[in-house]
Amino acid sequence: MNTSPLIHQDRGGPKQALLEVRDLKKYFPVRGSFGAAGKFVHAVDGVSFAVAKGQTLGIVGESGCGKSTTARLVAKLMAPDSGSMVFDGDGVDEFRGIALKDFRRNLQMVFQDSFASLNPRLTVAQTIAFGPQVHGMSAKDAERLARDLLMRVGMEPDQFGARYPHELSGGQRQRVNIARALAFDPRLLILDEAVAALDKSVQAQVLNLLQELKAERQLTYLFISHDLHVVHYLSDQVMVMYLGQIVEIGPVERIYGHAMHPYTQALLSAVPSMDPAHRTMSSPISGDPPNPIDPPAGCRFHDRCPKAQAICQSQAPRLMVVATDPAHQVACHLNDPHAGHGNAPSVEYAATALNEVSA
Amino acid sequence: MSTPRVSIKDMGLRFTGKRTVSAVNQISLELAHGEVLGLLGESGSGKSATLRALLRLYPEGRAQVSGQIRIDGQDVLSLKGRALEQYRGGTVSMVFQEPGVAFDPVYTIGQQIVQTIQAHAAVSNQDAAAQALEMLERVQIPQARRRFDAYPHELSGGMRQRAMIALALSCKPKLLLADEPTTALDATVQIQILLLLRELQKEMDMSVIFVTHDIGAAVEVADRIAVMYAGRIVEQGAVADIVHRPLHPYTAGLLASSVGAANKGQPLQAVPGSPPDMSNPPVGCAFALRCSRATDICRTQVPPVEHKDGRSLACWLPLNTDAA
Amino acid sequence: MPASASLALPGAAPLRATDSPGYWGTVWAQLRRDPVAMAAAALLLLLVLAALLAPWLAPADPYKASMIKRLLPMGSPGHWLGTDELGRDMLTRLMFGGRLSLLMGVVPVAAAFVIGTSIGLFAGYVGGRVNMLIMRTLDIFYAFPSVLLAVAIAGALGPGLSNSLLALTLVFVPQVVRVAESVTTQVRSLDYVEAARMSGAGAFAIIRVHVLGNVLGPIFVYASGLLSVSMILASGLSFLGLGVKPPEPEWGLMLNTLRSAIYLNPWIAALPGAMIFITSVAFNVLADGVRSAMELRT
């Protein structure tokens, strides 16, 4: 058992994606506690993506889109109904993969509710020291590590180490949560709305801290948020989710500059304007995000989409590469010349565009 | 207009009990008819407490409100009994942050709005129901007739918030207090609610005090912005002035630390430290500990509020507007 | 110092590891400030001491009967609280009776606390079908009123001290399990337990470090409320002849045997009842105080 600082090896090499998720599905039954044939909440319905080493993948979406469930599936806090996950080229907790306990050292999570994520009976130092001790570190080494980490996240160990969570502010608690996650020396950090509940001035401090830590420790981030500004600031790649599915995924500047999916476009224009002279005049979309219980056939967004046509109601679009940028994918019939949507580009145009890009 | 609709002078709010906390200290505000004021602040700034004090929601024994509050000429602090009940909901009404919690779960939406209407005017059940339905339609709830008979838990977050706005506006108040009404909502719903509030406010010529920590939301609805810090108003002015030419270092810090496309790749200009603990307030200017420009006078004396050119400012060393 | 600004604001005093009193320390400090709870605690302490030191402090022999001195009134010389129907000194009997009564109040609750918490923790943590199985089985016991259940079990086992202790324990276990399971289920879904699961710790470590400490509080409060119930039930069992047998002094039993003396000397007949009453109230007040002390924490 490892008693020295936890060391990880880069098993896959730089070209191997750190995390690859394929066709994850998770349905929750509604009522009928004995699993009787009832309705299901399609929380996560066929999600696939990859995160490269040292990158930040931002996941955005509204209530019911499944981003938090996806995070928990990736963190292996619950088992998916189907789908697979590969971490640095290895399966997890399966034959010839890495053991679950080792996986836990590589992947950690920072939760949204900074207060609920800390045991109210333990001091801050004890909370941070718990993790390394589980993996075999001695109590003394773990305490020293906890103090070092508190220092690193900007909290004086002498001043804060012996405090209880209720004696700290929201921003301080979140720093403790980050320190606790770092105690494992992880390679991937999932940040599930980690800055959402913080005051804006404190949020900026924590975001700076996250960026510094990422550079220092070669971390990879999975950043889940509903705040589009913050996602833009932190992410290299952005994934937009709606009702348990990915509707668009691509490099951050593509998504923010050339969003292709009507939902992404609506989301981006729903952000309040910062210029009093140019206020938002009309809402880009009406109604509330729908309930993911038994979603309809066809495209799940069709009932709120300003560009929907008959094809959208009958056939669900697949995630397809955008002609002008192979790294950008969208699940919309508008992007697919073969789908039969009236406004989709013609087949010839799509082919030319692809040629230009790959040339 | 000669008399402003809302006039608050030197209002203070003190909580007594185990510890004495001065949540709000000497704030002064004025609001004209049909004007929207955005009250911007973070935790501990006292913004929510101010709203609740305006509605006299705190029990007498535990909270003391000082100063002068006049709404449409009425002295709010001296109201008692029936007059106070009429005031709440009739003159001033409030929209809360969590739409799910503000409704009574055992009554339908329609019933609750009807109850409110009938508490303020002698109206028959049918008339009250008709008014309530009209209100629900005005807040653009789809299928208002069906939602009238729905229970709060049957509605989604955005619809509950619309219903709450309908409830608040049912008695046509002169002043609407909105306590972070969109903070708990999704982005696409938030913008709808903000636009709705703007529309209704214009239609009904209502004054609004809109509390938020999100500058973007304030910019969308407010005509003027007042920035609160540690129980005081540190800066007040027209929305364009505050956003483009802030004078107080805290306001400037808030604006500079907001995240956006412009900062990508660089560290954010964060304001160091965190908001003070109001049970143990610092001496002098409450922001001095976090301010990069603080000098001795800042640390020892509280800066007075000064009014100039339609703006108020409480700072010993304001930022130079010429440089903006 | 990196750009992520330090939170060490000037003027804040450093805190040493020994400064913080910990959870139970805070609860105790809070409790100390509650005069009513402290009075109840003092009273209980007095009663316990009187019971423990009875062999040395009591004025007479609890078993020594005297036919001449039967039912002497209170204040008689040598017998401050009078004598019972067999001429035994009441004060002595009450003090010795306290030993058994308090024992029968505390032991079943303590045993139920340990057993019930273990089962409840397990059921709550594991969840799912196993949880349902355990809880529904215990519901069967829960459906019976406690008095009836106690009498039934004691009746089946036969009279005697250890049998009635067992009967009472069995009556209380389902109740404690219910509270323990409920609290554990709540705590289990909190983020910090999820975070502990993410650390790769085993179930036992998680329960020991993260769940147990947070769950003991409410269970303890509930259990301390059971103390008075246990005493009364025990006295009831003795009254019915199912618990302690004469001539052992025990408050409930004394109530029974003094029944015939009610018309002759009602004050003496009421004394054991008064003791049960006072002790139960003291337990309840103290339990209430502990509950308030725990609530005011945050």
Label the pairing between strands A245-251 and A237-242: antiparallel
**For residue C16, what pLDDT is reported?**
40
CB–CB of C37/C285 below 8 Å? yes
- The rounded distance, in Å, linking the Cα atoms of A338 and B54 is 61
Instruction: Walk me through the domains of chain A, giving residue ranges and CATH numbers.
Output: 19-241 (3.40.50.300), 297-359 (no CATH)
ipTM: 0.84
Please name the member of A233, A272, A285 whose beta carbon is closest to the beta carbon of B194.
A272
CA distances from B104 to A129, B99, B160 (A): 45, 10, 12
- The rounded distance, in Å, linking the Cα atoms of C194 and C185 is 13
> Could you tell me the two tokens for B30?
């004025």
Is the N-terminal amide bond of C272 cis, ω within 30° of 0? no
With CB atoms and an 8 Å threshold, state whether B191 touches A172: no
Please name the member of B191, B214, B253 whose beta carbon is closest to the beta carbon of A201.
B253
A98 vs B172: which has the higher pLDDT = B172
Nearest partner of C52 among C114, C113, C106, C110, judged by Cα: C106
Q: Which long-range contacts (CB under 8 A, 24 or more apart) does C35-43 make?
A: C36/C285, C36/C289, C37/C285, C37/C286, C37/C288, C37/C289, C37/C290, C37/C292, C37/C293, C38/C289, C39/C285, C40/C281, C40/C282, C40/C283, C40/C285, C40/C286, C40/C289, C41/C282, C41/C286, C41/C289, C43/C278, C43/C282
Judge if pTM exceeds 0.90. no
Percent of chain A scoring above 70 in pLDDT = 92
Task: Kindly report the backbone phi and psi dihedral angles of residue B316, in degrees, each rounded to the nearest multiple of 5, phi listed first.
Answer: -75, -30
Q: What are the residues facing B6 on neighbouring strands?
A: B31, B71
CB–CB of A200/B227 below 8 Å? no
- The rounded distance, in Å, linking the Cα atoms of A318 and B147 is 36
> Does any domain span residue B152?
yes
Residue C185 CA to chain centroid, in angstroms? Answer: 24
- The rounded distance, in Å, linking the Cα atoms of B181 and A84 is 41
pLDDT tens digits, residue range A231-286? 999 999 999 999 999 999 999 999 999 999 999 999 999 988 888 888 888 888 88
Residues near B280 by beta carbon (within 8 Å), at least 6 away in sequence: none
Give the nearest chain B residue to A169 (CA atoms).
B274
Shortest Cα distance from A28 to chain C (angstroms)? 14
C2 contacts chain A (CB < 8 A): yes
Nearest partner of C227 among C183, C178, C288, judged by Cα: C288
CB–CB of B155/B163 below 8 Å? yes
CB–CB of A337/A347 below 8 Å? yes
- Chain C residues at the B interface, defined by Cβ less than 8 Å, are 3-7, 9-11
> Does any domain span residue B68?
yes
Which residues in chain A are contacts of C190 at CB distance < 8 A? 116
* Per-residue pLDDT tens listing for chain C (298 residues): 343 444 444 334 444 444 455 667 777 888 888 899 999 999 999 999 988 888 888 888 888 888 887 777 777 777 788 888 888 888 888 889 888 888 888 999 999 999 999 999 999 998 889 999 999 999 888 888 888 888 888 888 887 888 889 999 999 999 999 999 999 999 998 999 989 998 988 888 898 888 988 888 888 888 888 888 888 888 888 888 888 877 888 888 888 888 888 888 888 888 888 998 899 889 888 888 887 887 644 4
B17 contacts chain C (CB < 8 A): no
> Could you tell me the two tokens for B93?
């009404």
Residues near C60 by beta carbon (within 8 Å), at least 6 away in sequence: C78, C79, C88, C89, C91, C92
- The rounded distance, in Å, linking the Cα atoms of A211 and A269 is 27
> Could you tell me the two tokens for C168?
């009472």
CB–CB of B271/B258 below 8 Å? no
With CB atoms and an 8 Å threshold, state whether B189 touches A289: yes
> Could you tell me the two tokens for C1?
């110092």
CB–CB of B171/B117 below 8 Å? yes
A120 contacts chain C (CB < 8 A): yes
Q: How many residues does chain A have?
A: 359
C-alpha torsion sign, points C58, C61, C65, C66:
negative
| Residues A40, A43, A48: CA angle, nearest 5 degrees | 130
In this prediction, residues A177-192 reach a mean pLDDT of 94
Q: How many residues does chain C have?
A: 298
> Does any domain span residue B1?
no
Task: Kindly report the backbone phi and psi dihedral angles of residue C126, in degrees, each rounded to the nearest multiple of 5, phi listed first.
Answer: -75, -40
With CB atoms and an 8 Å threshold, state whether B190 touches A169: no
Nearest partner of A120 among A166, A74, A177, A52, judged by Cα: A166
Label the pairing between strands A56-60 and B63-71: unpaired
> What secondary structure, in 3-state letters, does chain B show?
CCCCCEEEEEEEEEECCCCCEEEEEEEEEEECCCCEEEEECCCCCCHHHHHHHHCCCCCCCCEEEEEEEEECCEEHHHCCHHHHHHHHHHHEEEECCCHHHHCCCCCCHHHHHHHHHHHHCCCCHHHHHHHHHHHHHHCCCCCHHHHHCCCHHHCCHHHHHHHHHHHHHCCCCCEEEEECCCCCCCHHHHHHHHHHHHHHHHHHCCEEEEEECCHHHHHHHCCEEEEEECCEEEEEEEHHHHHHCCCCHHHHHHHHCCCCHHHCCCCCCCCCCCCCCCCCCCCCCCCHHHCCCCCHHHHHCCCCCEEECCEEECCCCCCCHHHC
CB–CB of A26/A85 below 8 Å? no
- The rounded distance, in Å, linking the Cα atoms of A224 and A57 is 8
CB–CB of A210/A234 below 8 Å? yes
CB–CB of B195/A283 below 8 Å? yes
CA distances from C79 to B237, B253, C76, C93, C94 (A): 86, 82, 5, 11, 12
Please name the member of C4, C195, C196 whose beta carbon is closest to the beta carbon of A154.
C4
Enumerate neighbours of C (3 or more CB pairs within 8 A): A, B
| Residues C154, C160, C163: CA angle, nearest 5 degrees | 45
Q: What is the CATH number of the domain that holds B249?
A: 3.40.50.300
pLDDT tens digits, residue range A30-71? 865 555 567 788 899 999 999 999 999 999 998 888 999 999
- The rounded distance, in Å, linking the Cα atoms of A40 and A66 is 14
Q: How many residues does chain B have?
A: 324
A90 CB burial (10 A radius; 0-12, 13-18, 19+): middle
DSSP-derived 3-state class of residue C258: coil
- Find residues 162-221 of chain C whose CB sits inside 8 Å of chain A: 190-192, 194-201, 205, 209-210, 213-214
Q: What are the residues facing B134 on neighbouring strands?
A: none
CB–CB of B177/B55 below 8 Å? yes
Shortest Cα distance from A225 to chain C (angstroms)? 17
CB atoms within 10 A of CB A299: 26
Residue labelled with tokens 């406004």: A343
With CB atoms and an 8 Å threshold, state whether C7 touches B267: no
> Does any domain span residue B119?
yes
Range of the domain at B293: 6-260+267-323
CB–CB of A161/A147 below 8 Å? yes
In this prediction, residues A204-223 reach a mean pLDDT of 92
**For residue C270, what pLDDT is reported?**
87
Across chain B, which has 324 residues, the per-10-residue mean pLDDT values are 82 86 90 92 87 89 90 88 88 88 90 92 92 92 90 88 92 92 87 92 92 90 94 93 92 84 78 81 88 88 87 88 45
Q: Hey, what amino acid is at A306?
A: P
Find the largest Cα–Cα distance for chain C.
93
Number of domain units in chain B: 1
> Does any domain span residue B282?
yes
> Could you tell me the two tokens for B305?
């509020």
- The rounded distance, in Å, linking the Cα atoms of B20 and B16 is 5
- The rounded distance, in Å, linking the Cα atoms of C171 and C104 is 13
C-alpha torsion sign, points C27, C33, C39, C45:
positive
Q: Hey, what amino acid is at C248?
A: E
CB–CB of C272/C252 below 8 Å? yes
With CB atoms and an 8 Å threshold, state whether A280 touches B220: yes
Label the pairing between strands B36-40 and B224-229: parallel
Enclosing H/E stretch for C245: none
